[in-house]
Amino acid sequence: MKSNHQISQFQLTLVLIHAQIGVGIISLPYVMFLEADGDSWISILVTGVLLQVMIVLMWGLMRRFPNQNLYMVLQTLFGKFVGKVISVLYCCYFLIVAGMVMAKFAFTIKVWMLPLTPQWLILLLMILTVIYMVIEKLQIIARFLFLASLSLIVFIVLSAYSLKFANYTYILPIGSNGFLPILKGVKAGFPSFQGFELFMILFPFVQADQKSVLKAATIANVFVTLFYAFITLTCLLFFSPQELKLIPEPVLYLIKSFAFKIIERPDLIFTSLWIVLVATTIMCLLFASSIGLSSVMNKKNHKLFVFLSAAACFIIAFIPKGKFEIAALGKINSQLVTFFAFAFPIIFFLISIIFKKKERRGY
């Protein structure tokens, strides 16, 4: 399996970036503003620092098992049966996240672009596209992610254009509400950073020394943190506090307010590029789930489990029927990320240290 999915240090950075940046980017400024007000961008920076601590901790865990991914490590730490049970829980976690991403995606597309198109058709087109890529080797997926990264440049350029109309008084005075709202914003922002935990799965596939792997993950985290902070800051400077409270997708409204002579509806082009980012996020999540299921079933090929994971994700996406149910699912997801991306990796690391668990030589 390792030989089939080898990637470079640069490709690891791309995968981690696309695993995190996806459906949440259009609503992140609104979600953060409800908790941290004008200091939302500070909350994002603090979140990035906390994530970097977790990345270093995950790296400390995985360097003790350099040739194993997370699912193999779990079997080493807890034994085959318990390890496989926890592996299945992680696979379910990735599927739930992917299903939630697809549900948010379908809802947004119906509101903004295709109000008369059936939800099942939107979801079907997305899942078929994702399957087409995920059945390939990881290095093929990473090459596609490189092309998809061009859409991030458009996000940055269009957001930077809004600074032409910025009102800097909207975020002043900085820190006026105290540190508690900033911490609440950190918790609210965790789901948007979801995906960095794939680092534990991709670790053995990277053709680089251990320090280079940590460097690649760090670069990805810094980029995502600054990208989110910049997008959030532009929305804070463009919309007044009264307006931002009423706009669930401020990034789309931001782009829609622009008018160019050549492009009449830049928000539609922007949304089309956003769809690419949503697809890449789902690809990363389904890959992580299919690799986990193949490991549990002791299979070297993950293709069959891609179809099974995609079917489960497709079904999960139909559970929420409206924005209130999607919001409720988002709260559940917020609790899941606390355990699977933060609490559990810390426990795994401590167990490996306390019981001196390491990969056996000649593995």
358 assigned to some structural domain: no
Which CATH number do you get for residue 33?
1.20.1740.10
Q: Note whether residue 353 is domain-resident.
A: no
3-class SS letters over the chain: CCHHHCECHHHHHHHHHHHHCCHHHHCHHHHHHHHHHHHHHHHHHHHHHHHHHHHHHHHHHHCCCCCCCHHHHHHHHHCHHHHHHHHHHHHHHHHHHHHHHHHHHHHHHHHHCCCCCCHHHHHHHHHHHHHHHHCCCHHHHHHHHHHHCHHHHHHHHHHHHHHHHCCHHHHCCCCCCCHHHHHHHHHHHHHHHCCHHHHHHHHHHECCCHHHHHHHHHHHHHHHHHHHHHHHHHHHHHCCHHHHCCCCCHHHHHHHCCCCCCCCCHHHHHHHHHHHHHHHHHHHHHHHHHHHHHHHCCCCCCHHHHHHHHHHHHHHCCCCCCHHHHHHHHHHHHHHHHHHHHHHHHHHHHHHHHCCCCCCCCC
Residue 265 lies in a domain: yes
Does residue 130 belong to any structural domain of this protein?
Answer: yes
Write the pLDDT tens digit of every residue in 112-165. 888 888 999 999 999 999 999 999 899 999 999 999 988 888 888 888 888 888
Which of 35-44, 162-171, 344-353 has the largest mean confidence?
A: 344-353
Residue 291 lies inside a defined structural domain of this protein: yes
What does the pLDDT read at residue 24?
80
Range scoring the smallest mean pLDDT among 35-44, 192-201, 250-259, 271-280: 250-259
77 lies in a domain?
yes
How confident is the model over 316-339, as pLDDT tens digits?
A: 998 887 778 888 887 888 888 889
Residue 4 pLDDT:
62
- Which pLDDT does position 362 carry in this prediction? 46
d(CA 66, CA 25) in angstroms, rounded, equals: 33
Q: What's the average model confidence in pLDDT over 37-56? A: 92
pLDDT at 324: 81
Q: Which is more confident, 270 or 102?
A: 102
Tell whether 201 is covered by a domain.
yes
Beta carbons of 343 and 195 less than 8 angstroms apart: no
Q: How much is the pLDDT for 53?
A: 95
Identify the pLDDT of residue 327. 81
Q: How many domains does the chain have?
A: 1
Residue 304 predicted with pLDDT over 80: yes
Contact 303, 138 (CB under 8 A): no
Look at residue 62 and tell me whether its pLDDT is greater than 70: yes
Indicate whether 115 belongs to any domain.
yes
Task: Give 363's pLDDT tier (boundaries 50, 70, 90).
Answer: very low
Domain residues for the domain of 123 are 3-346
| Per-residue confidence band for 291, with pLDDT thresholds at 50, 70 and 90 | very high
For 260-271, what is the mean pLDDT?
73
Q: What is the pLDDT of residue 102?
A: 92
Structure confidence at residue 361 (pLDDT): 58
Kindly provide the b/e burial profile for residues 155-189, where b requires at least 16 CB atoms within 10 angstroms of the residue's own CB.
beebbeebeeeeeeebbeeeeeeeeebbebbbebb
pLDDT single digits (tens) 210-258: 999 999 999 999 999 999 999 999 999 988 888 888 888 888 888 777 7
